[in-house]
Chain A
Amino acid sequence: MSHYALTIHQAQEKLRAREVSAVELSQAVLNRIQDTDQHLHSYLTVCAEEALAQAETADRTLANGATPPPLCGIPIALKDVILAQGVRSTAGSKILEHFVSPYDATVTQRLKEAGAVIIGKVNCDEFAMGSSNENSAFNPCRNPWDTDRVPGGSSGGSASSVAADQTCAALGTDTGGSIRLPAAFCGIVGLKPTYGRVSRFGVVAYASSLDQVGPCTKDVRDCALLLEVIAGHDPRDSTSVNRPTPSYTAHLERGVSGLRIGIPQEYFIEGMQPEVETAVGDAIAHLQVLGAEIVPISLPHTEYAIASYYVIAMAEASSNLARYDGVRYGYRAAEVEDLGALYQTTRAQGFGSEVKRRIALGTYVLSAGYYDAYYVKAQKVRTLIRQDFLDAFKTCDIIATPVAPTTAFRLGEKLADPLTMYLSDIFTIAVNLAGLPGLSVPCGFDQHGLPIGLQLIGRPFDEEALLQAGYAYEQDHDWGARKPPL
């Protein structure tokens, strides 16, 4: 097996056994990027030099005999909304095209402390707003399984780079499904942790009350490993929760015996791609065979999730993106008459159309006279949706659903109609509104050879149950181990 195809845990073993050096591993990954990225555009910035220097440091650590830190010498890619000191961080936007961050995000810092090699910054929808990666201000990223298709969004580059072995693993962010959807479309494992589990400090904000950083990995064990490194309280993020981080890898093999899995009737809808329904149904049946108990449940407010999400997310976005004004950093329109024109022209030229649409909608719903009707109402719906889940968790331990109603669609297919595009997130959005953890695990392929994802949703801070169930399922299937035809 080529070095670049290694999972984190496989690479860990080989590095510690000195069968491969960290420099060789990083070089293999860099070569792989060089060979394949013209077809995929996963990367916006490749940190070749820095990565090799970090790998050399890792080799020295590995050579000195003591137990190395968990990710020592392991290449990890960062979604371009996650900041790394001295590295360009565009957030997929023209307005930050030349922005070099002067500081590390907390997750970046934790990766570095764990010995990881930051291999580069990967593509995403502009400011993480999108479900297809087509909103990237740069070349949109492609799906490795079919380069005419989208990798899903917004963490498209995170998913495609992992699926195409352009990195061992990546971090993405998930605001309404932005890790889970691309993970499903690209056939990898993706986890959105509980809101507050992972620090948001140093992550370019889209919708602050929904954003969460999570792992995109080749298998469930890697996912647990990576989460273990990035999770935990951060005094720099007031919304990060101060409770101990369990060892997610320690009890990974616990199995699903006696686990009650809830199946929400609202998540198996008309118009779903039949292969998706079948694959997800088979996966649930398999978990039952493994000893889980299947419980029908209801999440009655599901149909209001998308509407509520877009009001809240856009409201927060309209405020979060106000700082990109051309005054202190980032793109600045030239030759403007006055301050008003500076703002208008900078933002008109610097932002893409989807971002502008969301800022406009967000500004509208927060305006005097509309605030109660939209924002306050949406927050009430959000409370009901969270309550639906908490009620459901009285009779089940985790919930299983599809990640998306379809497999990856073609580039351009949904661009003209934002509403259709928004529906891609119909099964993932409620999880963000409720602040719950959600895992996407590969569970099959459709007739075109496109991956299908199973979503497992857990109680707040019960990532462990999701990883255990995902791991148990994964042991009996090779979906995730299959490689795209690149």
Chain B
Amino acid sequence: MPYESVIGLEVHAQLLTESKIFCGCSTRFGASPNQHTCPVCLGLPGVLPVLNKKVVDFALRAALATHCTVAPTSRWARKNYFYPDLPKGYQISMYELPIAEHGYVEVADQGQAKKVRLTRIHMEEDAGKSIHDAEAGASLVDLNRTGVPLLEIVSEPDIRSAAEAGHYLRSLRALLQYIEVCDGNMEEGSLRCDANVSIRPQGSAELCTRTEIKNLNSFRAVEKAIEHEIQRQSEVVETGDRVVQETRLWDADREVTRPMRSKEFAHDYRYFPDPDLLPLVVDQAWVEHVRAELPELPAARRARFIHDYGLPAYDAEVLTARKDVADYFEASVRACPAAPKVVSNWVMDSVLRFVKEEKLDTALKIETWPCSPEHLGMLIGLIQDGTISTTIAKTVYEEMRQTGHPPEEIIEAKGLRQVSDTDTLQAAITEVLTANPDKVEAYRGGKEKLLGFFVGQVMRATQGKANPQMVNTLLRQKLSQ
């Protein structure tokens, strides 16, 4: 029987606020253990939480960017469980009344758009980190992460394949990066994902028993684990067994999911409203204030790039996948408004490749990139007006990237200006033709493919500086004489 998979994702996104959600401690990653702690996040006797309003701003940004309905009143709840990296013995989260519900994320998949609905978004505090293998016979606890703000973003079971789960997660990550609330780094754990997976006969509308998969800390893990879990469940059903509702852990080394030991998760969190915090009231003015400061979102920007710059859908999708890249593109175009498609090619090729090579995956600021977008735009302008050839431009770009100097300066200093002077080119052409009489004869005898050879020779003779279009024209003229 053909099966259809039904998948929903629960994403935890660490928010980029300066300080923690309920105290003033820094959220900076990489400090020495327990450096960013205070009585409040250590859970000392007598301490009380005070909400960091910035966290609500960030949550509202995410809520609006995902078309959610913002609750005028939401409520903090305690999720009770014991673990050494949870100092209070409970996590402050939201339960019955989350801050936002009923949204959707537009998932771009090679031109095809699909909406994945969101059930809810809520805020909560992160737990600390337990380190089990650093010291023999002891576990260590680092509470720097305790109280770092998180958004939990829960999707409806709208996803139908492992690949689609990947697309959804990438779109969501792009969105969160766009609105600058999360850096989206899965390896460092600032974006985490659990997947709920079930299968059902193709065409059926019912929801069947699901399993929850945890420990998915890369896009690859998400896709592989879901794929494996769909396969596993199909096999269970094929053999006449029933899928058991359970939590499973993804083992990335062995590429299998395995059931969590019952001790690894609590059964009953005994949620109840946190009496230390007032209900969160968000009025319309607050929502509108956040909305006004929201940047243009990927979907709108994609459409604008196609319309305003005449870019192909593919280019628009690639360029808008990251806000920093889209910003970079637009800044480059401003320096070279005549040729947006050429700029697009350059950004997608040189810039994106460099970003990937240098693993600038999480950098959200284009200011830190070595070659400024203005310089790139200027460089492309110089190609357009014939000052340099595309080939020379690649050399100049490398130099720009390394030195940060503007293109004209590099071109002058290195004497890379394109040779478009007819006399100089004629002289070079004559020299090449004179040196290869046999090939000239062969060309004239019908072997027109040899034109490329002559062009290459002329380019070499001019150290690549010859204007290739002119060389082409002049060569044809000369050979047909």
Chain A positions near chain B (C-beta within 8 angstroms): 81, 83, 89, 91, 96, 99, 101-103, 105, 200-205, 207-209, 235-239, 315-316, 318-319, 321-323, 325, 327-329, 339-340, 343, 363, 366-368, 371, 375
Establish whether residues A319 and B80, one from each chain, have CB atoms under 8 Å apart when the complex forms: yes
In the complex, which of the residues B45, B272, B277 contacts A319, with contact meaning CB atoms closer than 8 Å? B272
Report B-chain residues with C-beta under 8 Å of the C-beta of A367.
268, 270
Closest A residue to B130 using CB positions: A339
Q: In whole angstroms, what is the CA distance A201 to B40 when docked? A: 10
Residue of A208, A238, A316 with highest tally of chain B CB at under 10 A: A238
Closest B residue to A211 using CB positions: B275
Interface status of B296 (Cβ within 8 A of chain A): no
Establish whether residues B89 and A323, one from each chain, have CB atoms under 8 Å apart when the complex forms: yes
Shortest A309–chain B CB gap in Å is: 14
Shortest A217–chain B CB gap in Å is: 23
Establish whether residues A327 and B275, one from each chain, have CB atoms under 8 Å apart when the complex forms: no
In the complex, which of the residues A99, A205, A339, A366 contacts B272, with contact meaning CB atoms closer than 8 Å? A366
In the complex, which of the residues A208, A318, A327, A371 contacts B276, with contact meaning CB atoms closer than 8 Å? A208
Interface status of B43 (Cβ within 8 A of chain A): yes
Interface status of B44 (Cβ within 8 A of chain A): yes
Closest A residue to B83 using CB positions: A339
Identify whether the interface residues of B are mostly helix, strand, loop, or mixed. Answer: loop
Q: In whole angstroms, what is the CA distance A366 to B270 when docked? A: 5
Report A-chain residues with C-beta under 8 Å of the C-beta of B44.
101-103, 329
Establish whether residues A204 and B51, one from each chain, have CB atoms under 8 Å apart when the complex forms: no
Given contacts A208-B275, A238-B276, contact A319 B89 (CB under 8 A): yes
Interface status of B84 (Cβ within 8 A of chain A): yes
Q: In whole angstroms, what is the CA distance A451 to B141 when docked? A: 52
Establish whether residues B278 and A319, one from each chain, have CB atoms under 8 Å apart when the complex forms: no
Report B-chain residues with C-beta under 8 Å of the C-beta of A102.
39, 44
In the complex, which of the residues A207, A235, A323, A340 contacts B45, with contact meaning CB atoms closer than 8 Å? A323
Establish whether residues A319 and B141, one from each chain, have CB atoms under 8 Å apart when the complex forms: no
The 6 closest A-B pairs by CB, nearest first: A322-B89, A209-B275, A366-B270, A208-B275, A202-B46, A204-B45
Establish whether residues B49 and A339, one from each chain, have CB atoms under 8 Å apart when the complex forms: no
Closest A residue to B89 using CB positions: A322
Chain B positions near chain A (C-beta within 8 angstroms): 39, 42-51, 78, 80, 82, 84, 87-90, 139, 141, 263, 268, 270-272, 275-278
Q: In whole angstroms, what is the CA distance A89 to B84 when docked? A: 23
Shortest B351–chain A CB gap in Å is: 46
In the complex, which of the residues B87, B271, B272, B278 contacts A323, with contact meaning CB atoms closer than 8 Å? B87
Report B-chain residues with C-beta under 8 Å of the C-beta of A200.
46, 48
Establish whether residues B277 and A327, one from each chain, have CB atoms under 8 Å apart when the complex forms: no
Establish whether residues B272 and A375, one from each chain, have CB atoms under 8 Å apart when the complex forms: yes
Establish whether residues B45 and A371, one from each chain, have CB atoms under 8 Å apart when the complex forms: no
Establish whether residues B82 and A322, one from each chain, have CB atoms under 8 Å apart when the complex forms: yes
Q: In whole angstroms, what is the CA distance A99 to B42 when docked? A: 14
Shortest B85–chain A CB gap in Å is: 9
Report A-chain residues with C-beta under 8 Å of the C-beta of B45.
83, 89, 91, 96, 99, 101, 204-205, 323
Shortest B212–chain A CB gap in Å is: 17
Establish whether residues A366 and B80, one from each chain, have CB atoms under 8 Å apart when the complex forms: yes
Establish whether residues B89 and A368, one from each chain, have CB atoms under 8 Å apart when the complex forms: no
Report A-chain residues with C-beta under 8 Å of the C-beta of B39.
102-103
Shortest B375–chain A CB gap in Å is: 48
Establish whether residues A368 and B90, one from each chain, have CB atoms under 8 Å apart when the complex forms: no
Q: A238-B51, A366-B80 are in contact. List 4 more A-B contacts (CB 8 A).
A: A89-B45, A201-B47, A205-B276, A209-B275
Closest B residue to A237 using CB positions: B48
Report B-chain residues with C-beta under 8 Å of the C-beta of A238.
48-51, 276-278
Q: In whole angstroms, what is the CA distance A318 to B81 when docked? A: 11
Shortest B45–chain A CB gap in Å is: 5
Q: In whole angstroms, what is the CA distance A368 to B90 when docked? A: 16
Report A-chain residues with C-beta under 8 Å of the C-beta of B87.
323, 327-328
Establish whether residues A203 and B46, one from each chain, have CB atoms under 8 Å apart when the complex forms: yes
Q: In whole angstroms, what is the CA distance A367 to B48 when docked? A: 24
Report B-chain residues with C-beta under 8 Å of the C-beta of A101.
44-46
Q: In whole angstroms, what is the CA distance A96 to B47 when docked? A: 15
Shortest A327–chain B CB gap in Å is: 5
Q: In whole angstroms, what is the CA distance A322 to B266 when docked? A: 15
Closest A residue to B81 using CB positions: A322
Q: Could you pull out 16 A-B pairs where Cβ atoms are within 8 angstroms?
A: A99-B45, A204-B46, A207-B275, A208-B275, A237-B50, A238-B48, A238-B276, A238-B278, A322-B80, A325-B82, A325-B89, A327-B84, A327-B87, A328-B87, A328-B141, A375-B272
Q: In whole angstroms, what is the CA distance A207 to B272 when docked? A: 13
Report B-chain residues with C-beta under 8 Å of the C-beta of A318.
80, 270
In the complex, which of the residues B43, B139, B272 contacts A315, with contact meaning CB atoms closer than 8 Å? B272
Shortest A308–chain B CB gap in Å is: 15
Report A-chain residues with C-beta under 8 Å of the C-beta of B47.
201-202
Report B-chain residues with C-beta under 8 Å of the C-beta of A235.
50
